[in-house]
Chain A
């Protein structure tokens, strides 16, 4: 290449607006397409087995089972967008789940108080992660591996054996078995996200994930934003623990552990880049529903439940490969 050609600056907008939009939203679109495909597969297999379509009861159950993962996943999304990772979500769900099951009594006062306490515990635990990552200058994966162990331990201290109980009214509010009212909470999360990413804080989260040095040079208070991101993630995980307690109507100090893996899987299925700064938590919400539907699909496809993790693992890897392939096709890097 000649020196003259090199000297000419590259045009700012080398792609058309439509192309730009497609590239920007391709991962989210893919997540929604996978969700639609999975839902269609579920309906098809259901009809094949029972000769009727899934009704109110089935859809309500899908929504209620998905809620803990929706919240845990959105929390994870915020951290992954900063190019971090939060393995402690599992421990935080254990802890808040145990707290709720052992302390909450019937009555508006107790339910409200203990919900708030759980959320504060989540925020506090998240803030500890954030301070260790931002001020301790430690790797997120190691910090949250350590705090995962700590929060799991505290959960067992609160509730040594599975048990406890959650008031019936609480289950009715968070996981009403009579209708898919949980969708209201999903709408709340989506609304939160649409607002969040337009706030200064939201923009800073994306900026840090894309290029931490550049963000710092543009006066983004990197450490404060990171602490905020982990605090939010902890709060969302705590909310996930509350929904889990409401759905299962009892507590178990280890039932949250699985969310370490599934929250990461939901984020990946949602099209959020592991290298930070790209993607939307709305995709994660879709990813959480996909993972719940997948279990139902496997059930109605008469697959031995013992093989469940095999298909979950395979599905995760294939979804990532598909995402990479599509990004290459539309010409997006990373």
Chain B
């Protein structure tokens, strides 16, 4: 059947709108669609799953993944990866409580010191990868070990006298108080999302990131300092891992060993679900944000289903494979 002009005109308007979007934007939309779908199915299985209170608590947990996924998205956009997330996050959380000793007076310095730790680990990662040509997987894997050893060694396996301190009340309040009925943490996440969206979509730095991710040789020939940008991106990844640690310890009160471990898998998965290509150059933080929500909501549904540990792990992996097969495939080769 040939498409007459009338037939095209009769095509639904939403479909035309959808097709007018770039594939990248469509994927962000799909990721948000997936998140909503999980809430709808969850509410169908358990009445009240999509209630305001439940959605709020899921969003707060999703924000922890979302902060870490922000950094991960930056490095994945240039075709890199950051495997040092778990122990940068864990080290940051422990540094925050030990340097502040739970006192509000020391909260500001402690937060700055912790963020500086994240930036410093990212700086070392970036220099190793960009200037010394160490593969990103190896460099960040090594850094994860280095941070694990330093954290365990200096805190004596979290048995030091200051290790049991709580996060300062002021920091806890930033995450836990309600502003107009919404946890303040979500406003922080919104702020981060707005800043990153601006950075990626409206600045020359953002254009440089995509240029490097698509073709670093071409980007270099076009006058972009590829190495410098790469270092900055790994610093951002370290910064956001540290921020994740701060927020997590503020939410939970105390630091624990191994608290960063789930965030490696989840931050990568969130970016991938959000349509960020692991090869670099495609995707947006808004997708990773939706991916974080989808992932955490999915886990919450499974928890509500009383799914045992092993089943959750299997469904987790299976869900990611399904999403990858749906839109993560590479172009067919000849």
Interface string of B146-188 (1 = CB under 8 A from A): 1111101100110000000000000000000000000000000
- Does B109 make an interface contact (CB < 8 A)? no
Give the residue of B138, B149, B325, B330 whose beta carbon is less than 8 angstroms from that of A310.
Answer: B149
| Complex Cα gap A80–B148 (Å) | 26
- Does A293 make an interface contact (CB < 8 A)? no
Main secondary structure of the interface of B (DSSP, over half): helix
- Does A231 make an interface contact (CB < 8 A)? no
* Residues of chain B lying within 8 A (CB to CB) of residue A148: 317
Segment among B201-209, B219-227, B306-314 that sits at the interface with chain A: B306-314
- Does A268 make an interface contact (CB < 8 A)? yes
Whether A85 contacts B133 by the Cβ 8 Å rule is no
Whether A138 contacts B134 by the Cβ 8 Å rule is no
Whether A149 contacts B137 by the Cβ 8 Å rule is no
* Residues of chain B lying within 8 A (CB to CB) of residue A321: 128, 132, 134
Q: Which residue of chain B lies nearest to A314 when distances are taken between CB atoms in the complex?
A: B146
Q: Which residue of chain A lies nearest to B334 when distances are taken between CB atoms in the complex?
A: A216
Whether B153 contacts A156 by the Cβ 8 Å rule is no
- Does B144 make an interface contact (CB < 8 A)? yes
Q: Which residue of chain B lies nearest to A268 when distances are taken between CB atoms in the complex?
A: B138
* Residues of chain A lying within 8 A (CB to CB) of residue B96: none
- Does B332 make an interface contact (CB < 8 A)? yes
Chain B residues 127-144 with CB under 8 Å of chain A are 128, 132-135, 137-139, 141-144
- Does B324 make an interface contact (CB < 8 A)? yes
| Complex Cα gap A114–B309 (Å) | 26
Whether B142 contacts A314 by the Cβ 8 Å rule is yes
- Does B253 make an interface contact (CB < 8 A)? no
Whether A149 contacts B324 by the Cβ 8 Å rule is no
Whether A147 contacts B333 by the Cβ 8 Å rule is no
Whether B152 contacts A307 by the Cβ 8 Å rule is yes
- Does B265 make an interface contact (CB < 8 A)? yes
* Residues of chain A lying within 8 A (CB to CB) of residue B320: 142, 145-146, 149
Whether A312 contacts B145 by the Cβ 8 Å rule is yes
* Residues of chain A lying within 8 A (CB to CB) of residue B189: none
| Complex Cα gap A313–B278 (Å) | 24
Interface string of A130-154 (1 = CB under 8 A from B): 0010001111011101111110111
Give the residue of A139, A261, A324 whose beta carbon is less than 8 angstroms from that of B134.
Answer: A324
Main secondary structure of the interface of A (DSSP, over half): helix
Q: A85-B137, A136-B329, A324-B134 are in contact. Are A306 and B156 (CB under 8 A)?
A: yes
| Complex Cα gap A31–B81 (Å) | 26
* Residues of chain A lying within 8 A (CB to CB) of residue B312: 153
Whether B81 contacts A142 by the Cβ 8 Å rule is no
Whether A310 contacts B153 by the Cβ 8 Å rule is yes
Size category, A interface: 35 or more
* Residues of chain B lying within 8 A (CB to CB) of residue A156: 309-310, 313
- Does B41 make an interface contact (CB < 8 A)? no
Whether B145 contacts A309 by the Cβ 8 Å rule is yes
Q: A139-B328, A141-B278 are in contact. Are A149 and B265 (CB under 8 A)?
A: yes
* Residues of chain A lying within 8 A (CB to CB) of residue B265: 145, 149
- Does A304 make an interface contact (CB < 8 A)? yes
Q: Which residue of chain A lies nearest to B325 when distances are taken between CB atoms in the complex?
A: A136
Whether B146 contacts A310 by the Cβ 8 Å rule is yes
- Does A199 make an interface contact (CB < 8 A)? no
Size category, B interface: 35 or more
| Complex Cα gap A320–B332 (Å) | 34
Q: A265-B141, A314-B142, A317-B128 are in contact. Are A146 and B310 (CB under 8 A)?
A: no
- Does B255 make an interface contact (CB < 8 A)? no
Whether A320 contacts B134 by the Cβ 8 Å rule is yes
| Complex Cα gap A85–B324 (Å) | 17
* Residues of chain A lying within 8 A (CB to CB) of residue B330: 137-139
| Chain A min CB distance to B272 (Å) | 6
Interface string of B27-61 (1 = CB under 8 A from A): 00000000000000000000000000000000000
Whether A153 contacts B135 by the Cβ 8 Å rule is no
| Complex Cα gap A157–B312 (Å) | 11
Whether B324 contacts A310 by the Cβ 8 Å rule is no
- Does B321 make an interface contact (CB < 8 A)? yes
Give the residue of B132, B137, B152, B269 whose beta carbon is less than 8 angstroms from that of A264.
Answer: B137
Whether B321 contacts A132 by the Cβ 8 Å rule is yes
Chain A residues 32-70 with CB under 8 Å of chain B are none
Residues of B bordering A, CB below 8 Å:
81, 128, 132-135, 137-139, 141-150, 152-153, 156-157, 265, 268-269, 272, 278-279, 308-314, 316-318, 320-321, 324-325, 328-334
Residues of A bordering B, CB below 8 Å:
85, 132, 136-139, 141-143, 145-150, 152-157, 160, 212-213, 216, 261, 264-265, 268, 274-275, 304, 306-314, 316-317, 320-321, 324
Known: A146-B320, A274-B137. 7 other contacts (CB 8 A): A85-B137, A138-B324, A142-B268, A146-B324, A149-B313, A309-B146, A310-B153
17 A-B contacts (beta carbon < 8 Å): A136-B324, A137-B330, A143-B324, A145-B320, A150-B314, A150-B318, A153-B311, A153-B314, A213-B333, A261-B141, A307-B149, A308-B149, A309-B149, A313-B149, A316-B141, A317-B139, A320-B142
